[in-house]
Amino acid sequence: MFSVFGIALALLDQGLKTSVDIKRIREMVPKILVAEDSVNVRKLLCVVLQGAGYEVMEAGDGQEALDNISRFTYDMLITDLNMPRLDGIGLIRKVRKSVRSRFLPIIMLTGEVQNEKQVEAMVAGASEWLAKPFKVDQLLAKVHTALA
């Protein structure tokens, strides 16, 4: 989708020189923060998203994600529901209260099947909901749609 190579080719097609600053190219790649307490699921998400050309940062729980959002700029947040220190719904509420991240697209990714939790997440400000286990194409479609 958004490989650095693909962006570089697009810039070259626009008449830019091959000495285009790599930093400038990297700034064009969407940055996604993944908040997930399961190391295996977090690593899987990173591999899938990086393979699709996104730049991915990781957080092991909601509080770590909130700290990262206060320090860095992201184009999207993908968060688990059940995490230590700060759960996904609490994280979404705090993100939505911040002027800096109020409009950040957020995908809630969880194994919860309770409709009440889905409604609570959407009311809190989740942009999308994806149940675990998920299919890679479903995840990438939701990411693409939320970033569009």
Residue 55: φ, ψ to 5°: -90, 130
Which residues, at least 6 apart from 73, have a Cβ–Cβ distance to it below 8 Å? 31
Alpha-carbon dihedral sign for residues 99, 142, 133, 39: negative
In a domain, 20, yes or no: no
Tell me if the pTM is above 0.85. Answer: no
In a domain, 47, yes or no: yes
Which of the four pLDDT bands, split at 50, 70 and 90, describes residue 115? confident
pLDDT in tens, 70-92: 999 999 999 999 999 999 999 99
CATH code where residue 49 lies: 3.40.50.2300
In a domain, 16, yes or no: no
In a domain, 12, yes or no: no
What's the one-letter identity of residue 142? K
- CB of 83 closer than 8 Å to CB of 37: yes
Residue 131 region by backbone torsions, left for phi larger than 0, else alpha for psi between -120 and 50, else beta? beta
Total of domains in the chain = 1
In a domain, 6, yes or no: no
Q: In terms of residue numbers, what domain contains 54?
A: 29-147
Q: Supply 70's token pair.
A: 């206060």
- CB of 41 closer than 8 Å to CB of 60: no
At residue 113, the pLDDT reads 76
In a domain, 69, yes or no: yes
